[in-house]
Chain A
Amino acid sequence: MAIIERSITSTEVFSVATPSTSLGALKRPVASTGWKSWLFTVDHKKLGIMYSAAALFFFIVGGLEAVLIRLQLAAPNGKILNADLYNQMFTMHATTMVFLFVMPMAAGLANYFIPLQIGARDVAFPRINAFSFWAFLFGGIFLNLSWFLGGAADGGWFMYAPNSGPIFSPSHGIDFWALGLQITGIASLAGAVNLITTVLNMRAPGMSLMRMPIFTWMQLVVQFLLLFAVPVITVALFLLSFQRNFGATFFDVSAGADPLLWQHLFWIFGHPEVYILILPSFGVISEVLPVFSRKPLFGYPFVVFSGAAIGFVGWGVWAHHMFASGLGPVSVAVFSISTMAIAVPTGVKIVNWTMTIWGGKLEFTVAMKFAVGLIVLFTIGGLSGVTHSVAPSDTQQTDTYYIVAHFHYVLFGGAVLGIFSGFYYWWPKVFGKMLNEKLGSWNFWFMVIGMNLTFGPMHILGLQGQPRRMYVWTEARAGEGFFNLGMWNMVASIGSFILGIGVLMFLVNIVYTHKSKKIAISPLDPWDARTLEWMTDSPPKEHNFDVIPQVSHLDEFFHRKYETDSSTHSVKQVHSAEEVMAELNAHPDEHIHMPSRSYWPILLALSLPVIAYGLIYNRMLMAVGAAMTLLTMFGWSMEPSTSPDDDFDPPAPGEGGGHTKELSPLG
């Protein structure tokens, strides 16, 4: 990377910095503590924490939306939500969970851990990284403003046109939705470019692609999926916005439009999107399972290639969301077959994870519980998915609760459980304290039992014909005996409460862990882990590694601690974690170069919702926003990624300016 000329001893003393000026006007931020250090940070770790915190907040928002839905459906003729509010509720629940919880949470984990796992000190474009976070946050807030400004979007998260056009959906909710997603889409795209460049260019010496941890691999595939899928929904959203705001006729059937256009564009994005949602969690448990089985991941190359295969084949299955839309038998047959095909690489992963656990010395920490939970529950969801791929049976299942059951099993049982596994596994690394295992256990069981009680009955509900997106059900249609839909709806609603309590326990766990004086700082290597991110302090120093490690194996950390005796195949510990760290840091790098803080990313991010708001309410404001965008981009490009040495007052005079090879953020 770049060369700097600042001795390591001064990196801890930022508080004596003297800010330089930028454009002669505002000083470049240099605070390293306090709220300003968070607002202007470009450090991937701080950004990762902010991403995750914001995502967790939206998880709760989305969860409350879900609870309201279940309250409405718990009894016949529910009075809690009228039809209009109900439509808004399920639309926003899905939008929030998909775009504002799972995706940014995965981004948060990726941001924090990819550089650590590959032995880098930050990502390739730290200011773009900051911009991505702020754009996501402002986009998410913008989206939710609609609740207070005339009603949220109400067309379903897939927003089928022409229903979402101006005639059938006159309120501004959908405009907020479309524009908010455009903003978060920009954030995702920028993040994808950033992380791909980071992984391809900044790995530690000796770390070939096939020595990378699986989490990084899965995230790499996800970034490619994002790179290619986000533009497609961008097109769809533009077409919708043009129709709603400028009178274009893209989805106007009377002008000859084809209503399937939206569906295709949306699902060409939408299907890779669901792989974007699940692959990070697959990556997380591919880290967790080996650690707590005391065995390496079974079939590493298979796991890598099946991940890539899922990413690739995922592009060819989108119309399975449209089997009942009149595509015609040829299209349906083609997509039916491709959908069955994609079950194969996923199955490969399940086999590999199971074989990893098999014969291992299992330690059921909470992280491990969540990981095993994922394998079981995702498989259930996957099996119902296979039944959908058979187009004739899907014709009965589509638009019923059977589908709702499927995707909640794969999303909650898959993506969410994986995320929670990551929380419990990596908490000590990020915060220096381990989450309480007992509380975590309660957290786990409440979530799993709650989840099964909520979504399990939905299989029955769906096959018995309860349709999706119906705001109310009546006694007359409820059926009898075992299939009494009333009973199962009540069970599902109770289940959702149990689930909610489980989530609450997680929050309690966080508060307890950090408030309690009794909890000790976690040891250096609490789980006896295998990968590079554990070869740092907890939490890591700002520059991550004192010395970039030389990598000679997959699971490098494991191999530094243990030696395998090839004749007896027994594994012997040769170094403790402390010894490995001491050896690594014996000769710390003299001059470590870290990118400097900046306020341009947050300012640029702020200009985007201004433009969006202007499009809806006041076209003049759009010009203001656009000017802001242009100006902040200029300011950004004129600012060097690292401030010159005269920014800081080092104890000894610096040796002249460094020469940075960072490219200006143009592409």
Chain B
Amino acid sequence: MSTATEHSEQTEHTDGHEAEHHGLSDKQYIYIALILAALTAIEVSTYYVDFGPFFMPTLLILMVVKFVTVVSYFMHLKFDNKLFTYLFYSGLLLAISVYCGFLATFKFFLQKG
């Protein structure tokens, strides 16, 4: 992921054992929120700035990064039993696959622009 989240992982280790069970400190949460805000700003800028061919990929990647960040840190998934991670992402993957298949039968991905 981005260097920003790696940084917060380092600070997490220095917090000691209580942090590892209950997650991060308040300061780290604020830090993550600022990152999310910055990512949102980039997203919004696509409205104003012409990204050319990078438009779609940028937005989609940013969307995924924000999604995973909130889920892993705010929803604590990163620190929970691995089983929950499997459960959540498998449900998500199923939903995405099924609905993309559904849209594919409507030739959605072959449309122009």
Interface residues of A (CB under 8 A from B): 200, 227-228, 258, 260, 264-265, 268, 315-316, 319, 327-328, 331
Contacts and interface: CB of A to CB of B under 8 A. Distances in A.
B47 interface: no
A268 B98 contact: yes
A264 B91 contact: no
Q: Is the interface of B mostly helix, strand, loop or mixed?
A: helix
A315 B105 contact: no
A227 B102 CA distance: 19
Nearest to B83: A200
Nearest to B107: A328
Contacts of B101: 316
Contacts of A316: 97-98, 101
B106 interface: yes
A265 B101 CA distance: 12
A316 B98 CA distance: 7
A265 B106 CA distance: 13
Interface centre among B97, B98, B101, B105 (most CB of A within 10 A): B105
A228 B91 contact: yes
A228 B94 contact: yes
B72 to A, nearest CB: 19
A260 B106 contact: yes
Nearest to A224: B91
A228 B106 CA distance: 22
B105 A264 contact: yes
Nearest to A267: B102
Contacts of A265: 102
Contact of A264 (B83, B94, B102): B102
A228 B102 CA distance: 15
B98 A319 contact: no
A228 B97 CA distance: 13
Interface of B: 83, 91, 94-95, 97-98, 101-102, 104-107
A328 B98 CA distance: 18
B89 to A, nearest CB: 13
A208 B101 CA distance: 36
Nearest to A322: B105
Contacts of A315: 94, 97-98
A316 B104 CA distance: 13
A323 to B, nearest CB: 12
Contacts of B105: 260, 264, 319, 327-328, 331
A258 B107 CA distance: 12
A200 B94 CA distance: 21
Contacts of A228: 91, 94-95
9 contacts: A200-B83, A227-B91, A228-B95, A260-B106, A264-B105, A265-B102, A268-B102, A316-B101, A327-B105
A401 B91 CA distance: 36
A121 B94 CA distance: 33
B92 to A, nearest CB: 10
A319 to B, nearest CB: 6
Contacts of A227: 91
B101 to A, nearest CB: 7
B88 to A, nearest CB: 12
A344 B35 CA distance: 48
Contacts of B91: 227-228
Nearest to A264: B102
A125 to B, nearest CB: 17
A265 B105 CA distance: 12
B75 to A, nearest CB: 12
A663 B2 CA distance: 36
Interface centre among A264, A319, A327 (most CB of B within 10 A): A264
A264 B107 CA distance: 14
7 smallest beta-carbon distances between A and B, as pairs? A331-B105, A264-B102, A327-B105, A315-B98, A268-B98, A228-B94, A315-B94
A227 B95 CA distance: 12
A260 B102 CA distance: 10
A315 B91 CA distance: 12
Nearest to B103: A264
A453 to B, nearest CB: 39
Contacts of A260: 105-106
Nearest to B99: A268
B28 to A, nearest CB: 26
Contacts of A258: 106
Contacts of A327: 105
A413 B74 CA distance: 49
A537 B94 CA distance: 42
Contacts of B83: 200
A327 B104 CA distance: 10
Interface centre among B83, B97, B101 (most CB of A within 10 A): B101
A515 to B, nearest CB: 48
A258 B106 CA distance: 9
A647 to B, nearest CB: 35
A327 B83 CA distance: 38
A513 to B, nearest CB: 43
B22 to A, nearest CB: 18
Nearest to B105: A331
A268 B97 CA distance: 12
A58 B82 CA distance: 42
Nearest to B104: A331
Given A260-B105, A264-B105, A328-B105, 8 more contacts: A200-B83, A227-B91, A228-B95, A258-B106, A260-B106, A315-B94, A316-B98, A316-B101
Contacts of B97: 315-316
B108 to A, nearest CB: 11
Contacts of A200: 83
A328 B106 CA distance: 9
Nearest to A315: B98
A227 B105 CA distance: 24
B81 to A, nearest CB: 11
A260 B108 CA distance: 13
Nearest to A196: B87
A546 to B, nearest CB: 31
A328 B101 CA distance: 14
A52 to B, nearest CB: 30
B93 to A, nearest CB: 11
A327 B102 CA distance: 11
B102 to A, nearest CB: 5
A228 B101 CA distance: 16
Contacts of B104: 331
B109 to A, nearest CB: 12
